[in-house]
């Protein structure tokens, strides 16, 4: 589901099953500190290339996504106050919530809200309506809100850190040196879980690093299996480099699990961003992934309210 400002749309990834053999070899690379250029070289053909600048702290400065699909108006059904729930266990969208959602749609200001060092525009919010493709800004702020929730003094959920939507594309194509400053003020090893949104070939998926297991896990709403091992071993290599850089010593990865997980499957070509966000939401609450395609219309409208208000509903 397309998003990035600059796309490198090559499709050798799906056709080249030999990548799996290379991924198995890379297990030794992680422990043996060998060169990982083959992984970066292969993923260079898969991951959307995003030229990212950094601020003085080494954090990513988000590019103007002028070449992405820009929706000039919302899908009209967002103004209909109907019960979109396929499962009544979910919180209903009340009249008050519906009004807040509609107000965001017709906001006179270009910027609807500013939070987590991001400006969210009407056009960003419009991506959540109809069957539009979610963009980077929506994925980014939703995962940032998940991370913020985990900091609650009530300690009801695992402590979560969310990586930038630009993180994996830079890591996989430019190497660890391109992202090592992005966690200058963050100790990822102090968290229970790290969420990594991944955008490849116009499709959103999610990886997680769970230090409680420990292990790295991949979730793809299209059910893809080819190349997943490379994604996970790339993250293991990142953990080794990050621990060595930040802690000054090696991390023992011998007991880290590495699995592609069963994930609810999308039934269209437009909802992968919503699936990515909801998988992240459920993982951050240690819940089973028991939602489905029928829930997407409801989730889209609910996410508008959650993003505008800066709160996440449960259930």
Beta-carbon contacts of 144 under 8 Å, excluding residues fewer than 6 positions away, are 115, 116, 118, 162
Strands 160-162 and 193-200 turn out to be parallel
- Is 292 a known active-site residue? no
Using CA atoms, how far apart are residues 266 and 233, in angstroms rounded to an integer?
A: 25
Active site residue 187: no
**Burial environment of residue 109 by CB neighbours within 10 A (0 to 12, 13 to 18, 19 or more):** exposed
Residue 87 has which token pair?
Answer: 């499962």
Radius of gyration of the chain (CA): 19
Contact 23, 231 (CB under 8 A): no
In this structure, are residues 41 and 47 in contact, taking their beta carbons and an 8 Å threshold? no
- DSSP-assigned states of every residue in 7-29: -----HHHH-TTHHHHHHHHHHH
What are the Cα distances from residue 232, in Å, to 20, 26, 256?
11, 10, 11
> How many CB atoms lie under 10 A from the CB of residue 299?
21
161, 199, 237, 272: the catalytic one is 272
- CA separation (Å) from 27 to 22, 226, 232, 259? 9, 16, 10, 13
In contact, 30 and 240? CB cutoff 8 Å: yes
163 in Cβ contact with 196 (< 8 Å): yes
Active site residue 203: yes
CB 221 within 8 A of CB 276: yes
| Identified catalytic residue from 203, 210, 281, 295 | 203
The catalytic residue among 48, 124, 136, 220 is 220
Q: Which residues are catalytic?
A: 203, 220, 272
């Amino acid at each position: 589901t397309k998003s990035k400002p600059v796309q490198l749309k090559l499709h050798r990834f799906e056709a080249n099953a030999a990548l799996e053999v290379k991924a198995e070899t890379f297990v030794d690379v992680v422990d043996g500190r060998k060169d990982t250029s083959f992984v970066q070289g292969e993923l260079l053909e898969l991951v959307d290339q995003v030229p990212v600048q950094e601020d003085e702290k080494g954090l990513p400065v988000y590019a103007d996504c002028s070449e992405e699909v820009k929706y000039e108006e919302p899908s009209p059904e967002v103004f209909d106050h109907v019960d979109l729930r396929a499962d009544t266990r979910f919180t209903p969208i009340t009249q008050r919530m519906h009004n807040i959602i509609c107000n965001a749609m017709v906001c006179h200001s270009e910027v609807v809200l500013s939070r987590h060092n991001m400006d969210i525009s009407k056009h960003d919010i419009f991506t959540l309506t109809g069957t539009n493709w979610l963009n980077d800004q929506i994925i980014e702020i939703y995962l940032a809100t998940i991370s913020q929730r985990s900091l609650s003094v009530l300690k009801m959920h695992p402590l979560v850190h969310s990586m930038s939507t630009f993180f994996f594309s830079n890591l996989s194509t430019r190497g660890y040196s391109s992202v090592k400053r992005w966690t200058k003020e963050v100790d990822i090893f102090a968290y229970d879980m790290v969420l990594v949104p991944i955008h490849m070939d116009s499709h959103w998926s999610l990886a997680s690093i769970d230090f409680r297991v420990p292990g790295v896990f991949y979730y793809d709403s299209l059910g893809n299996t080819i190349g997943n091992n490379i994604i996970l071993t790339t993250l293991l290599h990142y953990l080794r480099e990050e621990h060595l850089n930040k802690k000054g010593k090696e991390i023992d990865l011998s007991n880290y699990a590495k699995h592609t997980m069963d994930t609810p499957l999308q039934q269209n070509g437009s909802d992968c961003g919503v699936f990515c966000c909801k998988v992240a939401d459920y993982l951050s609450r240690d819940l089973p992934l028991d939602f489905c395609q029928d829930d997407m219309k409801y989730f889209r409208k609910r996410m508008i309210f959650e993003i505008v208000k800066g709160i996440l509903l449960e259930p």
